Amino acid sequence: MESATKTTEKVSGPRVKQYSVFLPNKVGALAEIVKLLHEHHIEVLALDIQDSADCAIVRIIVSDPEQSQELFELHDIPFSSSNILVVELRGGANELPQLLSGLFMAEVNIHGSYGLLTRPRGATALALHVEDNDCAVAVLTGHGFRILSQLDISR
């Protein structure tokens, strides 16, 4: 029973929160958001931008999710949030085939993915928005991957 507890501890901690921020499609809109976060000592840890004719959707992982959400609400910045997985790739990109194979075999769909700007614990890390977080955690930890919590990636 003790080994089961240790396995659970490896993936415990607050899940990593991803914000999807909806910005007007204008020059400098992203810079304003990053400046606002920076002024409040919040680091942008990962960033993914999808542009459309009407707006840009910026998916962002930050060092302080709670304070970021308060800032978004205070400044009337439209956003949504979701929990995502951040997977440590100790061997870098060489581990990507094994990661994808494991998720494929478990039939876990990937809705989005992007790399982190920082290197938590000195290793490459990949943010994954998947169909089933719990299944993906079980599969990936079973294949020897470490799932990082918000505490692991925030400084």
Q: Look at residue 4 and tell me if it is in a domain.
A: no
Assess whether 44 and 105 both reside in one domain.
no
| Residue 127 lies in domain | 83-153
**What CATH number did the domain enclosing 38 receive?**
3.30.2130.10
Assess whether 103 and 64 both reside in one domain.
no
Q: What is the pLDDT of residue 1?
A: 36
Q: What is the pLDDT of residue 4?
A: 36
Write the DSSP string, 88-152.
Answer: EETTGGGGHHHHHHHHHHTTPPEEEEEEBSS-GGGSEEEEEEES-HHHHHHHHHHTTPEEE-HHH
Domain end: 82, 101, 116, which one? 82
The string of pLDDT tens digits covering residues 99-136 is 999 999 999 999 999 999 988 778 899 999 999 999 99
The string of pLDDT tens digits covering residues 71-108 is 999 999 999 999 999 999 999 999 999 999 999 999 99
Assess whether 55 and 45 both reside in one domain.
yes
Assess whether 33 and 72 both reside in one domain.
yes
Q: Look at residue 20 and tell me if it is in a domain.
A: yes
Q: How far are the Cα atoms of 18, 38, 50, 64, 136 from residue 146, in angstroms, in the given order?
A: 19, 29, 28, 21, 12
The pTM of this model reads: 0.86
